């Protein structure tokens, strides 16, 4: 009998906790990983406005910076204190894709650094193939 009551109390406490605090499931970030330019384009298509909330690094132009995080703006505007519903805050990483002796950036061992190295290698192979094709003509 005591176990049944104790079990019911535990289940009730878990239900109240879930109802009060939610399940903790995170929402997907639609703009994370995109360049600022691509994020602005996607926001424009969605009739939203992107605002740079924070940026770190100074190696890249704004359009080439990577969005690390985005969130809906929690602002109020006007005399009636209406919530802003068309603005998204963007957090940018403007360091180089991979760190070097002269540039700040991601570690070559990090997932981001490995991806940047792979992308640079692929781009170099593409340019070499194009140059080889132009030289044969």
80-117, pLDDT tens digit by residue?
A: 888 888 999 999 999 888 888 888 888 889 888 888 88
pLDDT of amino acid 112: 82
β 49-56/87-93 pair status: parallel
Can you tell me the distance from the alpha carbon of 37 to that of 60, in angstroms, rounded to the nearest whole number?
12
pLDDT of amino acid 14: 56
Enumerate residue ranges in the chain where pLDDT < 50. Answer: 22-24
pTM across the whole model: 0.62
Which segments within the chain are labelled E, that is strand? 49-56, 66-72, 76-77, 82-83, 87-93
120, 123, 72, 68: which is closest to 94 by C-alpha? Answer: 68
pLDDT of amino acid 80: 86
pLDDT of amino acid 15: 55
């Amino acid at each position: 009998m005591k176990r049944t009551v104790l079990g019911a109390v535990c289940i009730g406490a878990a239900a109240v906790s879930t109802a009060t605090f939610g399940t903790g499931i995170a929402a997907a970030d639609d703009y994370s990983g995109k360049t600022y330019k691509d994020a602005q384009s996607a926001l424009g298509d969605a009739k939203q406005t992107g605002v740079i909330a924070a940026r770190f690094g100074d190696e890249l132009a704004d359009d080439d910076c990577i969005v690390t995080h985005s969130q809906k703006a929690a602002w109020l505007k006007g005399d009636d204190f209406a919530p802003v519903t068309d603005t998204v805050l963007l957090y940018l990483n403007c360091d180089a894709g991979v760190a070097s002796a002269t540039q700040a950036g991601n570690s070559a061992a990090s997932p981001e650094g490995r991806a940047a190295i792979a992308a640079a290698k692929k781009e170099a192979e593409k340019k070499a193939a194009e140059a080889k094709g132009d030289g044969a003509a």
